[in-house]
Structure 1
């Protein structure tokens, strides 16, 4: 089953075409990298996939939701419950504890039952190796720990797909590697991952299929092999 399917899709930012005739499929449980220079369209593509930007034209489905029609259907929140979205700059609420950050998402996505919510928060924090930080404030954590909290937040609703935008971009190499191992472990348990990254060292260490944004096109290493050049 495909979790992403785009065909002749135009990725737009306002009235500007960023990528054209984008066609690719990402299967359930697959791990794919998204590369390209700054401004080449990586973030715009990810935003289109989680319906922050409208699909310009063409066809596309993500987690079974039809992208061209989703903006007017009121279904964007339901799409996002099927996704885990991970940002480079964390986007944690700094006036709340780790547990309160996670609780905010559970409340926003319709969870009920105090004990059930606390149980889920404990589960995801344990999953990312942070069982003891629930009561801490984000500023008390290292960058790597904050990113693990962001991954825990993304896992709350057991997503079919993780969309990660430069998740190791602000981390030193050792921390980046530990975050990458966590992504591999999550992927091995059946969650598909699409990760935008500039870190070609990580791609060489953990090789997978690569999509490259280049000159308004999306090139797929599965059909058009290419060299990664730093």
Structure 2
């Protein structure tokens, strides 16, 4: 697939740190508009730290990188919320506010990102809930939903500001295989509509069922399946 526009993510000679330790070095890759890429590697190999660097939860200290046209190496803290409006972040542990309804969870995000018109807020919430197949869940509390439904709400939350890319950290890690398959089908629908996805996963079955480009964190490097061949055994 060829895209003429500039990459959604571009890394050049980047190092990724955990505390003071360099965990990945000489990282170079692009993700173009509408691409779907898996990020794999053993626990502790740097996957989550790489994702956190891309959405500016960890600082970029070495190399250069851009995400959604934001230069991470020169990004002031006050600009981070603007970057976060252009990307969607999906966590394995959901990070929903359990004392608020689904609609209140989504309203909280919209207000935090500058939405003020109540009718537009209500309309946008309805749109994203419909997109994930949970338009009847707005008034429910998170604890009234199954794990798979909670993950769909998290995906809806990530779509509120129409991001150019979703960063998903083990989004099927806590879900049984049938539910995980439904979540993957939802990701494919979102990706087919033009949103790029970078998804960290340990789920070998999903990678087999939905083959995509793969980035692998291994021995302090990030290997790219479109550049070189590497082993894809279960457990990575």
Distance 2:80 2:205 in 1: 35
Q: 1:103 to 1:15 in 2, by over 3 A?
A: same
What does residue 59 of structure 1 align with?
A: 64
- Which one of the candidate residues 134, 138, 151 is aligned to 1:147? 151
- Which secondary structure does the structure 2 equivalent of 1:21 belong to? strand
Which runs of structure 2 are paired with 1:149-164 in the superposition (5 Å)?
Answer: 149-164=153-168
Q: Does 1:115 align with 2:119?
A: yes
Of 14, 18, 26, the match for 2:19: 14
Structure-2 residue corresponding to 1:208: 212
Q: Which runs of 5+ in 2 are unaligned?
A: 1-5
Equivalent residue, structure 2, for 1:76? 80
Cα distance in 2 for partners of 1:62, 1:225 equals 26
Report the TM-score when normalising by structure 2.
Answer: 0.96
State the distance in 2 between where 1:136 and 1:198 align: 31
| Counterpart secondary structure, 1:229 | coil
TM-score (norm 1): 0.98
SS of the equivalent of 2:37 reads strand
Distance 1:29 1:163 in 2: 13
The reply to whether residue 197 of structure 1 matches residue 172 of structure 2 is: no
Q: Cα distance, 1:56 vs. partner? A: 2.3
**Unmatched 5+ stretches in structure 1:** none
Q: What is the RMSD of the two structures over their aligned residues, measured on CA atoms?
A: 0.7
Instruction: List per-residue Cα deviations over 1:116-152 (Å, max 9, x = no partner).
Output: 0000000000000001000000000000000000000
Number of aligned residues: 229
Q: Does 1:100 align with 2:104?
A: yes
Deviations 1:94-137 (A, max 9, x none): 00000000000000000121110000000000000001000000
